[in-house]
Structure 1
Amino acid sequence: MHYWYDSDENDVVYESLDWEFVDSGIAKKSQFMHTFISKQLEPSTIYKYKIETKDKGQIFVSNTYEFHTPQEDAPSFRFLATGDLGATNAVSMPVFKELAQNHEYDFVAIMGDQGYNLDDFNGTKGDQYMNFAQDFYARVPLLTTAGNHEEAFDLMPYHESNFDDAMQYSIDYKSLHLISFATEVFFEGSDAQVQTSLQWLENDLIKASRRRAKVPWIIVIGHRPLYCSILSNPDCKENAETLRFGHSKQQGLESLLVKYNVDMYLWQVTCNIAGYTSCTDALHISGHKHNYERTFPVRNDTALTRSYHNAPSFFQVITGNAGNYEGGDIFDKDTDIPSWLGSRFQGYGFSTIEISPRHLDLHHYETHIDGTLGHLQDHVRVSKTECHINKQRIIRQD
């Protein structure tokens, strides 16, 4: 790998860690993983880079890509949030590639189901998807979580988060503490695995609560939703209740989100209405459902308020309508709209989130079927005072 400052053709020094990963598919394909550890990067800088590989004496050189480092002292930053993005009918991908070139977003959070079963056809589907998404992922740092279509030999290492299977992690970024939680454990894991995952999450939230004065915002991302409005679908009823309350109503996600004053649960939701797969998520941000929904601050299936100023509980966003082969989810026509539902949108689109120490701005944009950017479909500002932040540091006992 070669990379350099945008204004300088001289390479920057780095270390390389390389290893071979052999998947567990029939073909036992080898994937070669490369981790590059750079020296300290300069803030507010555009770097260019390219990859060289050798095979049977031939040298192959990639296109030249570029990425940016954020401003060091900037009080606010923006990131993209999306999920359920396939290589077929990937309506939003042209917009993502264009936005990545503008260097306006510091990272992208993807709430699972990328490409849909990347292990299909002995992994060639994964190759197809990664080549398709390369111009996007090569320019913007990626934070993701596992969806129900990503159970095969998944690799998402984040050793610093002290979780043995590396499927869950958290980071601090400026005024945000971002947690990726693997919601599939509630449906694919044993009772012991569920409790291990929840214990890791609670320990992480305890640490985050102690740093609330410096890092005031806590967002949890996951694949499945805690709330969704297509109440005719099991994903929005019994599966959502399983996530909220746990198996046999012992413990689920909602009690931890409330106890530790999580601000937002973000998820990507994709439900196959005909096949009844599942959906769930909360800011909490999530996916899994192929639409967009935003709740009011909610707890126990009840909207606590319609105000997002010094909110008494978390709110949830579903942003799973980037584009996929299954198409969008259709909202129910004959059922009552839940009181906790703040906004929803049935077309294709994606979300952006801007965070400063006192404000969080959520925008959801439409993307047209031809891959062009459409209109703003939703916007909400979340705000908190210093007094409220100090209260959030106190762990709820109810």
Structure 2
Amino acid sequence: MILFAVVLLSVFQIVELLVLGNKTVVCYGGPGTYTGVDRYNQIGSWNQTYHPADPQQIHVSWISDGKAFTVQFSTMDPIKRSTLVYWSDDEDENETIEGGQNWEFIDGGIAKHSQFMHTLASNRLYPSTLYEYKVITIDNKDKSHVSNTFELHTPDLDQSTSFKFIATGDVGVVNAVSMPIFKQLAKSHDYDFVAIMGDQGYDLADFNGTKGDEYMNFAQEFYATVPILTTAGNHESAYNFSHYKNRFDLLPYKQSDFSDAMQYSINYKSLHLISFATEVFFYGSPEQIQTSLNWLEQDLIKATRQRSSVPWIAVIGHRPLYCSILSNPDCAENAERIRFGFDQQLGLETLMTKYNVDAYICGHKHNYERTFPVRNNTLLTTSYHNPPSFFQVITGNAGNYEGPDQFDNTSVLPDWLGHRFQGYGFSTVQVSHHHFDLHHYETNIDGTLGKLQDHVRVSKTPSHVNKQKIV
């Protein structure tokens, strides 16, 4: 029920706010509404006019172990050919890649709007190297169109050294409070990739897909510099997740033996990272659910066999298995459905506990929560040293039209809840052979970095890793 509305006037925008129950909602930029300019998106290329053959919506992802990268981009017209050019200070000549994959993507809306998708993969890269790259397209009149130049860095070869990645989710073009920080962090080259836990754009399919174009161009400065590893959320479900599958076709699903970008895995130094589509439990058929779970089990078997060299296994998905707003179905029956399936026999938690997954990272709820090691809705320990089960992190508070979810303070808090934070923010993870460090930072309302809100270190001894290899 709408209680009241107020108009907030600033130097950046005129924003209408509605208070719905206990949530403040920005009345634009959400599903079915147009994107507006605000303080977080006023600088960027999301609403500029591109030539139909210009490469736009550029984003990159890793091939396993960071040995090579894949770039994906769009053009609004078909082109004759495209070229990826990349170089480093250590090389005398540029590397040039042509060909790649090219296809037409037709939106499922009434206008049947089409655009043309392109992916190009680099050759094997040198480790510990900063690369620059650009994309060139040739249109049907033989005119060339050149993108901006972007940078990315490759990991070193020492498995024992640590690396860092960003973990976040639930971000749109509007009220994207954390995006200014993400774009600044990208320039630092301190983070090897970003894991996005679903719900991007709100919604990518809106207005015949033009909102998806806006979002991908809005995020381009970030996604073209920090390789992305994403998962699909409920706000990507339109037309059988076609926008997600086509816009993120660069994800390493083919190397992971899955049929599309909905699920995949990747090795990166001491981490095996799995992207699992929790939405299959809500939009999939029984056969699709079984296919997803079968793939996951086979992938976990492979990951368990290599655990001596790659000791950490983390799963990213959109929806939480646990959350503390117990009055909300997402934290009750929906969470239980994902954990154990419809028949209470086989779900995501069933397999994660069987194969000793270390961490599950998700979004969907627009706040931050961390559990202690947990299984079957039961606290196992408050220690993160040689933990007997996985712990979960919700990091869905990057910023979107709805703002942060309000906690239900009238409920008795579950004993498995380690920490929670109501506000905007994002997480970072640092992984070494023996430690898994999670930090969660607040984002101030002006888009600047706030305080460290949470930190936990998970540690494992070699003997514990050996136990995890036994299934």
TM-score, normalised to structure 2, is: 0.77
2:123 and 2:369 mapped to 1: Cα distance? 41
Identity %: 68
Q: Which residue number corresponds to residue 6 of structure 2?
A: none
How far residue 291 of structure 1 moved from its aligned partner, in angstroms, is 0.3
Count of equivalent residues: 376
Q: Which residue number corresponds to residue 172 of structure 1?
A: 267
Residue pair 2:105, 2:117 contacting (<8 A) in 1 also: no
Residue pair 1:169, 1:181 contacting (<8 A) in 2 also: yes
Q: Which residue number corresponds to residue 50 of structure 1?
A: 134
- For residue 22 of structure 1, what is the amino acid of its counterpart? F
Q: Which residue number corresponds to residue 393 of structure 1?
A: 469
Partner residue of 1:365 out of 416, 441, 457: 441
- For residue 371 of structure 1, what is the amino acid of its counterpart? G
2:130 and 2:302 mapped to 1: Cα distance? 33
Q: Which residue number corresponds to residue 155 of structure 2?
A: 70
Residue pair 1:224, 1:288 contacting (<8 A) in 2 also: yes
Please state if 1:36 is matched with 2:120.
yes
SS in 2 for 1:39: coil
How far residue 59 of structure 1 moved from its aligned partner, in angstroms, is 3.5
Please state if 1:313 is matched with 2:313.
no
- For residue 274 of structure 2, what is the amino acid of its counterpart? I
Q: Which residue number corresponds to residue 281 of structure 1?
A: none
Classify 1:196/1:232 alpha carbon distance in 2 versus 1 (closer, same or farther; 3 Å). Answer: same
How far residue 6 of structure 1 moved from its aligned partner, in angstroms, is 4.1
Partner residue of 1:219 out of 314, 331, 334: 314
Residue pair 1:18, 1:32 contacting (<8 A) in 2 also: no
1:335 and 1:60 mapped to 2: Cα distance? 58
SS in 1 for 2:167: strand
Moved more, 65-74 or 339-348: 65-74
Classify 1:372/1:170 alpha carbon distance in 2 versus 1 (closer, same or farther; 3 Å). Answer: same
Moved more, 19-28 or 140-149: 19-28
Residue pair 1:3, 1:49 contacting (<8 A) in 2 also: yes
Q: Which residue number corresponds to residue 271 of structure 1?
A: none
SS in 2 for 1:232: coil
1:7 and 1:257 mapped to 2: Cα distance? 43
* Cα deviations by residue, 1:138-179 (Å, 9 ceiling, x for unpaired): 101100011001123131442111122441111111111100
Classify 1:7/1:163 alpha carbon distance in 2 versus 1 (closer, same or farther; 3 Å). Answer: closer
Please state if 1:113 is matched with 2:196.
no
- For residue 121 of structure 2, what is the amino acid of its counterpart? I
Q: Which residue number corresponds to residue 125 of structure 1?
A: 211
1:250 and 1:378 mapped to 2: Cα distance? 34
* Cα deviations by residue, 1:189-214 (Å, 9 ceiling, x for unpaired): 11121111111111111111111111
1:125 and 1:162 mapped to 2: Cα distance? 31
How far residue 30 of structure 1 moved from its aligned partner, in angstroms, is 2.7
How far residue 56 of structure 1 moved from its aligned partner, in angstroms, is 5.9
1:59 and 1:109 mapped to 2: Cα distance? 33
Q: Which residue number corresponds to residue 274 of structure 1?
A: none
How far residue 251 of structure 1 moved from its aligned partner, in angstroms, is 1.8
Please state if 1:18 is matched with 2:101.
yes
Q: Which residue number corresponds to residue 416 of structure 2?
A: 340
Unaligned runs of 5+ in 1: 268-286
Aligned pairs for 1:1-398 within 5 A: 1-6=84-89, 10-23=93-106, 24-55=108-139, 57=141, 58-73=143-158, 75-152=161-238, 153=242, 154-155=244-245, 156-157=248-249, 158-267=253-362, 287-395=363-471
SS in 2 for 1:247: coil
SS in 1 for 2:405: coil
2:291 and 2:145 mapped to 1: Cα distance? 44
How far residue 386 of structure 1 moved from its aligned partner, in angstroms, is 0.3
Residue pair 2:274, 2:314 contacting (<8 A) in 1 also: yes
Residue pair 1:79, 1:354 contacting (<8 A) in 2 also: yes
- For residue 97 of structure 1, what is the amino acid of its counterpart? K
TM-score, normalised to structure 1, is: 0.91
How far residue 366 of structure 1 moved from its aligned partner, in angstroms, is 0.6
How far residue 20 of structure 1 moved from its aligned partner, in angstroms, is 1.9
Residue pair 1:119, 1:126 contacting (<8 A) in 2 also: yes
How far residue 244 of structure 1 moved from its aligned partner, in angstroms, is 1.1
Residue pair 1:6, 1:48 contacting (<8 A) in 2 also: no
Larger radius of gyration: 2
How far residue 342 of structure 1 moved from its aligned partner, in angstroms, is 0.1
2:190 and 2:228 mapped to 1: Cα distance? 14
How far residue 248 of structure 1 moved from its aligned partner, in angstroms, is 3.1
1:30 and 1:71 mapped to 2: Cα distance? 40
Classify 1:20/1:304 alpha carbon distance in 2 versus 1 (closer, same or farther; 3 Å). Answer: same
Q: Which residue number corresponds to residue 283 of structure 1?
A: none
Residue pair 2:254, 2:260 contacting (<8 A) in 1 also: no
Residue pair 1:16, 1:37 contacting (<8 A) in 2 also: no
1:112 and 1:168 mapped to 2: Cα distance? 12
Classify 1:151/1:6 alpha carbon distance in 2 versus 1 (closer, same or farther; 3 Å). Answer: farther
1:8 and 1:252 mapped to 2: Cα distance? 49
How far residue 28 of structure 1 moved from its aligned partner, in angstroms, is 2.5
2:193 and 2:89 mapped to 1: Cα distance? 19
SS in 1 for 2:201: coil
How far residue 62 of structure 1 moved from its aligned partner, in angstroms, is 2.0
1:212 and 1:10 mapped to 2: Cα distance? 39
